[in-house]
Amino acid sequence: MTTQETIVSNLADVPRSNGGGVETFVLNVGPQHPATHGVLRVKMTMDGEYVLRAEPVCGYIHRMHEKMGENRTYAQFLPNTSRIDYLSAMTYTHAWAGVVERAAKIQPPPRAEYVRVITSELNRISSHLVWWGAFLLDLGGFTPLLYAFDDREMILDLLERITGARLTYCYYRIGGLYNDVDEEFIEGTRKFVHHMRPRLKMYRELVTENIIFRKRLIDIGPISQEMCRKYGATGPVIRGSGIPYDVRKAEPYSAYPEFDFEIPHFREGDSMARYLVRMEEMAQSLRIIEQALDKLPSGPVMAEKVPRVLKLPAGDYCYAVEAARGRFMVRIVSDNKEIAYRAKLRTPCLSNLSLFEEASQGMLLPDALALMGSLDLVIPDIDR
Amino acid sequence: MRNAVKEVVSGFYSLIVGMRVTIGQFFKPIVTVQYPHETLKIAPRFRGHIELVLDPATGKPKCFACKLCERACPSDCITVEGAKLEGAKKRSVTAYHLDFTKCSLCGSCVEACRDGAIRFSRDYNLAGWSKEDFIMDLFKRLELEAQAASPEKVDGRAVPGLIAAQDAAHQDKTKTDLK
């Protein structure tokens, strides 16, 4: 079986050499399936073990987040942002706080910006750790999940200490932060950075170099640069195809221009490349955290003039951040009221999922699921 | 042929390296906590459901029903009613309902409160049998707690025992040893 270039809409069009004309059946993966990590349904037309067509069906956890952004004040929407992609809640809150700050011309104090970077990067590591564990669970390895959650627990404890929550942090406020960080958090984060480096090496020994694992991923699910561009894929997916696109470098925001870090990217475009991008990103996040801790300025964490009743001047505002899964962008259209006229949330997972239909064509079912795992989908983020 | 042999050897070696990591774990400390026999300490900024705070001077709730929390709440789960009692300078709260089924624990209400009249409770064992269990009357909850506690002296000053009891509970609700 070879990978086809175009999407098959009619099975009669499938050439015989590619499995056309023989008996096919429809296999429903999900909406309640462990491999989809949530309520995503994939309607797969199968020819034996081969996928002829995989059609994702979204909407099972649609909660009208965009509409909710249009019927409550800007500050009231902040808790929602943690619930779009619950695994990287910090970065999503950052985008919402960022767009409102940009529109209202509020400048958060430098300490707040630094703490935002530290917590966002911690959150990115914890998100990648969940992906790492769950991805290997998809591939049939259970133990890595436990190692990943052991390390993730340290991050959650640190973040719980300063935010009061373990998953839906809602830590950033329009103009700054909910609370300042304390000495114990800073010490704990330093300790975590020292703890995590040898752990990443251990992960490499345990999983990345494992021959069974490599055979499962190398050359499986290639995604070309054209396909990435066509579907608007971002994050580790596009970086795994060799395009070093990262919002932190492309449209620098917050305090990111002040740090020295690299954008890991691999040219292969297969599932292994996407895996390696994420593993390398964790190391880069540790670098950013270390630099931010060294340079952490003192001072207030909340801007001085944040009006209690916040009205954004009429206009159209955008703010993009690099979330753990790619580019997350908020666009607000304001008509000078307390409530946004239009709130558009551009989430990375929807674009990353949409290329699955094309990329998975002609693959074996277990390989298609490995490809889906390497896209790192969070379903509430797709449906939002 | 040569490459195939090389791959088999290196592949086998990679499995042994992985095994070494796994065996190494046998000699590392255990990180799991045997809940419910052991519990961890709750984080100081733990965001639980809200509760009313008593004023140590009067023994009444600090809240004077300004309804700022009600307005700040994104999910409309707070209903506050207040009345001006005879001889009192300020209004005082007469009913404080929290619909915990809607609450997303964002903490906007605590932030909106200017007088520190509400705070996060440290209850976390909140399982219940019916939906009604989660429609909380915080004012009544406080009164019931007050009845249960008897007055006692703290720092040489007679304060309702509840404040001491409530504070103690607030400080450390984690020391419930179920062994």
For residue A194, what pLDDT band results from cuts at 50, 70 and 90?
A: very high
Enumerate the H helices of chain A as residue ranges: 65-69, 74-81, 89-104, 110-138, 143-163, 183-203, 211-217, 225-231, 236-240, 247-250, 271-295, 348-354, 356-359, 365-375, 379-383
pLDDT at A97 over 50: yes
- Residue-level length of chain B: 179
Q: Say if A31 falls within a structural domain.
A: no
Average pLDDT over chain A, rounded to an integer: 86
B19 touching A (Cβ < 8 Å): no
Quote the minimal CA–CA distance from B155 to chain A in Å: 30
The fraction of chain B above a pLDDT of 90, given in percent, is 1
For A165, which of B14, B47, B72 is closest by C-beta distance? B47
Angle at A362 between CA A357 and CA A363, to 5 degrees: 85
- Least CB-CB distance to A211: which of B14, B108, B120? B14
Contact B45 A79 (CB under 8 A): no
pLDDT tens profile A312-323: 888 899 999 999
Looking at residue A309, its pLDDT comes to 81
Per-residue pLDDT at B154: 46
Chain A nearest CA to B173, separation (Å): 15
The pLDDT of residue B170 is: 58
Does A184 lie at the interface with B, CB-CB under 8 angstroms?
no
> Does residue B76 sit at the A interface (CB-CB below 8 Å)?
no
Indicate whether A133 belongs to any domain. Answer: yes
A77:B74 CB<8 A: yes
Q: How far is CA A332 from CA A69, A175, A204, A281, in A?
A: 9, 17, 42, 30
| B74/A79 Cβ within 8 A | yes
**Are the beta carbons of A207 and B106 separated by less than 8 Å?**
no
Query: Rounded to an integer, what distance in angstroms lies between the CA atom of residue A71 and that of residue A73?
Result: 7
Residue A57 domain-assigned (yes or no): no
pLDDT-based confidence at A12, cuts 50/70/90? low
The count of structural domains within chain A is: 1
Provide the b/e sequence for B136-166 (b: ≥16 CB within 10 Å): bebbeebeebbeeeeeeeeeeeebbbbbbbb
Å from B68 to nearest chain A CA?
Answer: 11
| Residue B9 touches partner A, C-beta closer than 8 Å | no
Q: Are B74 and B108 in contact (CB under 8 A)?
A: yes
* Mean pLDDT (whole number) for A204-232: 87
Q: Is the ipTM of this complex over 0.85?
A: no
Residue B107 has pLDDT above 60, yes or no: yes
Taking CA–CA distances from B20, the nearest residue in chain A reads: A206
Domain CATH for A278: 1.10.645.10
Average pLDDT for residues A300-306, to the nearest whole number?
83
Single-letter residue type at A201: K
Indicate the helix (H) or strand (E) that contains A326: strand A326-334
Instruction: Please give the pLDDT value at position A39.
Output: 83
Partners of A163 on chain B (C-beta within 8 Å) are 45, 47
The answer as to whether A25 is a domain residue is no
- Mean pLDDT within A347-375: 88
Check CB contact of B10 with chain A, cutoff 8 Å.
yes
Q: A106 lies in which domain range?
A: 65-382
pLDDT score recorded for residue B178: 37
A372 in B contact zone (CB under 8 Å): no
Q: Which residue, among A205, A218, A306, would best test binding to B if mutated, counting the most B CBs under 10 Å from its CB?
A: A205
Q: Is the pLDDT reported for residue A193 higher than 70?
A: yes
A206 and B106 within 8 Å at the Cβ level: the answer is: no
Confidence of residue B162 (pLDDT cuts 50, 70, 90): low
CB A311 within 8 A of CB A337: yes
Nearest CB to A210 within list B18, B20, B46: B18
Domains recognised in chain B with CATH numbers: 50-175 (3.30.70.3270)
Chain B within 8 Å of A209 (Cβ-Cβ)?
Answer: yes
- Suggest the residue from B17, B19, B20, B45 to mutate for an interface test with chain A (most A CBs closer than 10 A): B45
**pLDDT above 90 covers what percent of chain A?**
22
pLDDT score at B176: 42
Q: Is the pLDDT of residue A113 over 70?
A: yes
Residue A3 domain-assigned (yes or no): no
- pLDDT for A8 equals 57
